[in-house]
Amino acid sequence: MEPGFREGSDVVLSLWRYLFKAPARGDVVAVRHAERLELKRIIGLPGEDVSWNSGTITINGTALDEPYAMIPPPVPGDGEWRTVHLGRNEYFVAGDHRLHSTDSRRFGPVVRDAIIGKAIAS
């Protein structure tokens, strides 16, 4: 999640944040994946269509403005768009350093129960 959160740094999580409120686009959250906790940013919300191609992500056909993301330049020949429709309890998450992030582009959407809390400080 660099540059916002440095690798190896301590992170404060709000575990109560989502008891009465749904996670929002742009929130940095701790996600349980493959027996570990990872920090990822929420990109897509339940019911949305998320598409990506190289460094570009669209939500329901509209390009997402991501000033926080380190997006690699387009890869020549990578013209294939990939799309996932999120179910009513699914979120699309991505790391801010897209070139080095393993996220929903690779392992698919995460369910709400896999979101442990919101990162509020590092």
pLDDT tens profile 78-90: 667 899 999 999 9
The answer to whether 10 and 120 have CB atoms below 8 angstroms apart is no
Per-residue tens of pLDDT for the chain, all 122 residues: 666 677 777 888 888 888 889 999 999 999 998 888 899 999 999 999 999 887 789 999 999 998 888 876 666 556 678 999 999 999 999 998 888 888 999 999 999 999 999 998 76
pLDDT at 15: 84
CA distance 45 to 35: 23
Radius of gyration of the CA atoms of the chain, in A:
14
Give the pair of three-digit tokens for residue 6. Answer: 């440095």
CA distance 23 to 85: 18
Does pTM surpass 0.85?
Answer: yes
Domains along the sequence of the chain with CATH: 12-121 (2.10.109.10)
CA distance 33 to 20: 23
